[in-house]
Amino acid sequence: MTPKTIAFQGRPGAYSDLACRTARPGWKTLPCKTFADTITAVHEGKADQAMLACENSLAGRVPDIHTLLPNAGLHIVGEHFQRVEHCLMAIHGAQLEDIKRVHTHPVAMGQIHTLLKTYNFTPVIEFDTAGAAELVALWNKKEEAAVASELAAELNGLNILKRNVEDAAHNTTRFYIAARTTDRLSVNTPDVMTTVLF
């Protein structure tokens, strides 16, 4: 039986990818460049569902999703809460004392002030967390590190130097899971939440 596919915005190893793998174990994940591309992938049948980040406990709501959803033509069929656990990663053989620069997404950079200050790392903004991990693997230099998910380290062959480098332990992202169709649930179905867009 062919596994179902769930699309997400970001590079392989992004927190959205991790959310897909956690919420839909055994499904294939499909990375997309933008949220709009993620929605289109479902409409075109390339994916059965989409994992769409809607808010983060530290950074607040994700404006793009709330702009796109009213006209997306998809049904919200579930939600998922993903704990964000930032890892400091570098190439194998690199030690903490070798690191000079830390690359990551601007939102993640805003969540690791203690790490940057403690080790006097130079922050470098990249387009996303998993993309930063890809770049560090590509450059293959001991002085470059990324902050991303454990999954990003695994997919890019990087070594995790420190785990949970985020300033706040409650850092969590909420996702909508969307699909072309929805099952009509019984009125007795427990733990159902209704989302209204207006």
Is 38 among the residues known to form the active site? Answer: no
Angle at 35 between CA 183 and CA 72, to 5 degrees: 45
Is 198 among the residues known to form the active site? Answer: no
CA separation for the pair 180, 85 (Å, rounded): 31
DSSP state, 30? E
Read off the amino acid at residue 179: A
**Strand 144-148 vs strand 87-90: parallel, antiparallel, or unpaired?**
antiparallel
Give the active site residue among 114, 175, 182, 194: 175
Give the active site residue among 5, 38, 104, 173: 173
Element (H, E) at 87: strand 87-90
Please, what's the largest Cα pairwise distance for the chain?
A: 59
Residues annotated as catalytic (active site), given as ranges = 173, 175
